[in-house]
Amino acid sequence: MNWTDHENAPARGTELCKLEELEPDAGKELVIANGDGRGADAVWPFRMFVVRRGDSVWGYVNTCPHQHIPLNYFPDRFVSADKQFILCSNHGALFNFDDGHCIAGPCVGETLQQVPLTVRHGVVTVG
């Protein structure tokens, strides 16, 4: 499944946050949902996260390719202790910031689903 196939995936051009709201070498979870999430027509929210290094940002669907569960166990914790990699807190997998490629852990060789981002005038948007 591609990230754009999700019913609540943000449209291209959607503003997500300001660059200044993202700590360098850290991550931030974003949850996008329509409606109140209850009732027969409830839909699952779209969960993604953004990581920043300098003025560069990358966005990924918040799902580990190993068991398809969120990478973070605690809010906004997506980066390894040495701040060099994206971390799956559940299984210890490590992923590159720039391409989401897994370099260590149970899903070596697999890749996170990237959500393309752009930064214009200090605002991070879906590219």
Instruction: Write the CATH number for 117.
Output: 2.102.10.10
Domain count of the fold of the chain: 1
Domain that holds residue 58: 3-126
pLDDT at 5: 86
CA 110 to chain centre: 15
pLDDT tens per residue, range 41-88: 556 789 999 999 998 999 999 999 999 999 999 999 999 999 999 999
Residue type for position 122: G
Question: First CA to last CA across the chain, in angstroms?
Answer: 19
Q: Which residues face 35 on adjacent strands?
A: none
**Burial bucket for residue 59 (CB in 10 Å: 0-12, 13-18, 19+):** buried
Q: How far is CA 2 from each of CA 6, 7, 39, 51, 63, rounded to the nearest angstrom?
A: 8, 11, 26, 20, 12
Task: Report whether 42 contacts 9 (CB < 8 A).
Answer: no
Residue that is written with structure tokens 């906004």 in the block: 76
The model's confidence at residue 36, banded by pLDDT at 50, 70 and 90, is low
- Beta strands across the sheet bearing 15-18: 15-18, 123-126, 117-120
- Identify which has the larger pLDDT, 36 or 61: 61
How far apart (Å, rounded) are the C-alpha atoms in residues 110 and 67?
12
Q: Is the pLDDT of residue 37 over 60?
A: no
Q: Which of 8-12, 44-48, 102-106 has the highest mean pLDDT?
A: 102-106
